Structure formats: C-alpha cells, structure tokens
C-alpha cells in the first residue's frame, strides 16, 4: 500500500483513500483520509486543522459482488454450451443433413435433450430467485409426511426403471405430522433422493428413512454410491458446484438441486446436512420441526418465510 502523505493532504485539501487487507482474517478495510479545519472560536485546543481517518469494513460487500459476478459467469457458461450445440446442429441439418433420416433423427433427439436441459436450468434459476427475493407464496399445511416419502421413491423407481437398485423405505409406526408446503418439500425429496439414484451404480443400495422425536422429524437418505471426496463435501451446496460436471450433465443435472433443497428446508425452519466418503457412499439428513397440535391456524401463522 502506498504511504499516505498527511502534510500533502492538509496543504492541498484533497481527500485520499487506501484499501488495506488485515491478516489473519483477510478483512478488507477502506481508510479515508479527510482534511478538516476548525474555526478558532469553536475550539479550545491547539488543533485547528488535521486529518480525520475513517475506516470502513467492506469485506461483506466485496464478497457479495464476487458471488454475483461468479453467478452470472456460471449462468452464461451453462447456457452457452447447449446453445452452441443447438446452433451447429441446426446449421448442419439445414446444410443437407435433414435429408438423411438417421442423422436427422439423432441430431433432433440431441437438440431435444439440450432444450430440456436449458428449460430445467431456467426453471431452477427462477425457483432460486423466488426464494432469494422471498416471493414464494408458501402453502404450508399440517399433514403427515409418510405418504410423500413413499410417493417420491415410487416415482423415481419408475423413472430409473430397468436398473436394479435396491431401495428400502423405513417409516415409523406412527404418522409424523409437519407443517409444510407439499410441492416444495416434494421438490426437496426429489432432488435428494434422485441424487442418490444418479450417483449410485445400477446395482447399488439406497435407503430412505423417516424418524421423529418429540420436536423434530428426520429424513435420512443414504446410498452406497460414488461418494464425494472430502475437499468437495463442503462445497456441494454452493450454486452450480458439481464434483463431476460430465456425470451430472448426463443425468440432466444443473448443480442447483442441493442449493434449492437447502433454501426450502430452511424456509420451513429446518436444516440439511450431508456427509460422504469417496467410493463408500453419501448420507443426507433433513431435519424439520414437527407441527404442534393446534391445527391449521397455528400452522399458517407459525410459518417461517
């Protein structure tokens, strides 16, 4: 950092500023050096002029700007790849490939897949932005969670059809009552359980367990799939973060599923945690508060936005 000439600030009357990084926490500070002159009659000290130093911690602002820039760069990159494919395939088709039925069919099916991916990406981005700007109209109702867990697992079983994964569902004897937005929590369960399917071999084992104590319900989704290396575990909830981009893309992944799930769970007053070991498997725990006995009224009024 260039030294500050206080005498020059006083003589020129021009303000100066410096950016300083404080170790060890890497706080970013802006120091503003402002000259001042006090009128004699208002002071009984000898200082009639001097330099006032104002310190402003801008660490958070800078971090937010960095996250925003990274987000825009990520979105542009994610859209550019399918758009480039669409453009070159369209040109090739128009250039004559459309008259070769086999090529035409293969190109069109790739284009359909790429379009679906873009639609999914835009949908996920919209969902995140609604959650960010608190524009979600929550429809929380008091109901049991059992049947939703089974419904999601069955839908995914159909989706992943022929593959012989063993999926076990463990439910408690008594129904577990929660205040929740059915569509949104269904989305959370799809994102998490679908990941277990996607990142587990076709012969793998997946467990979905629902438990409850006096105050909380816990949904535990475990798999014996490819797992996540330790250095990536803490980043998988970051937007667009994917351990293996190619593998995620093959399954139409956007890298936004876990961040959406976390936002929704937190808006229900709950939390979500993931632990994993490479080549051993992954476990995701969703914790949600139980609904009281007060009925629908308490549910709506107690909802956290």
Q: Is 117 in the site for ligand ADP (CB under 6 A)?
A: no
Contact region for ligand ADP (CB under 6 A) — 57-65, 132-140, 225-233, 295-303? 225-233
> Which residues, 6+ apart, have CB-to-CB distance to 121 below 8 Å?
75, 78, 79, 254, 256
Among 125, 127, 145, 228, binds ligand ADP (CB under 6 A): 228
Among 212, 253, 262, 291, binds ligand ADP (CB under 6 A): 253
Rounded-to-integer distance, Cα 199 and Cα 281, Å: 9
For ligand ADP, the closer of residues 143 and 261 by Cβ is 261
Contact region for ligand ADP (CB under 6 A) — 17-25, 26-34, 139-147, 236-244? 236-244
211-238 per-residue burial string, b: 16 or more CB within 10 A, e: under 16? ebeeebbebebbbbbbbbeeebbeebbb
Contact region for ligand ADP (CB under 6 A) — 49-57, 173-181, 182-190, 239-247? 239-247
Rounded-to-integer distance, Cα 87 and Cα 97, Å: 14
For ligand ADP, the closer of residues 232 and 300 by Cβ is 232
Rounded-to-integer distance, Cα 125 and Cα 140, Å: 22
For ligand ADP, the closer of residues 196 and 217 by Cβ is 196
Question: Least CB distance from residue 226 to ligand ADP, whole Å?
Answer: 5
Of 253, 259, 255, 257, which is closest to residue 113 (Cα–Cα)? Answer: 253
Question: Least CB distance from residue 78 to ligand ADP, whole Å?
Answer: 11
Which positions lie near ligand ADP, rule CB under 6 A? 191, 195-196, 199, 223, 225-228, 236, 241-244, 248, 253-258, 282
């Amino acid at each position: 950092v260039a030294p500050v000439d206080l005498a020059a600030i006083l003589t020129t009357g021009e303000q100066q500023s410096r950016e300083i990084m404080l170790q060890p926490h890497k706080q970013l500070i802006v120091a503003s050096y402002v000259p001042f002159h006090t009128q004699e009659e208002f002071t009984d000290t000898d200082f009639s002029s001097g330099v006032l130093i104002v310190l402003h911690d801008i660490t958070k602002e800078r971090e937010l700007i960095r996250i925003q820039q990274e987000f825009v760069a990520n979105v542009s990159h994610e859209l550019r790849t399918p758009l480039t494919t669409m453009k070159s395939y369209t040109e090739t088709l128009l250039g004559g490939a459309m008259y070769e039925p086999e090529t035409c069919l293969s190109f069109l099916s790739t284009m359909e897949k790429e379009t679906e991916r873009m639609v999914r990406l835009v949908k996920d981005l919209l969902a995140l932005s609604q959650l960010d700007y608190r524009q979600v109209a929550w429809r929380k109702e008091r109901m049991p969670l059992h049947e939703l867990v089974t419904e999601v697992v069955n839908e995914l079983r159909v989706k992943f059809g022929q593959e012989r994964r063993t999926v076990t569902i463990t439910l408690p004897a008594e129904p577990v009552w929660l205040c929740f937005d059915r569509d949104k929590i269904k989305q959370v369960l799809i994102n998490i359980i679908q990941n277990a399917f996607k990142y587990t071999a076709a012969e793998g084992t997946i467990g979905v367990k629902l438990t409850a104590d006096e105050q909380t319900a816990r949904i535990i989704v475990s798999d014996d799939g490819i797992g996540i290396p330790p250095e990536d575990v803490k980043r998988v909830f970051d937007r667009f973060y994917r351990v293996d981009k190619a593998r995620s893309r093959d399954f139409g992944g956007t890298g936004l599923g876990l961040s959406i799930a976390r936002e929704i769970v937190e808006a229900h007053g709950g939390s979500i945690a993931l632990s994993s070991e490479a080549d051993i498997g992954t476990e995701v725990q969703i914790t949600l508060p139980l609904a009281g006995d007060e009925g629908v009224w308490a549910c709506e009024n107690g909802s956290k936005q």
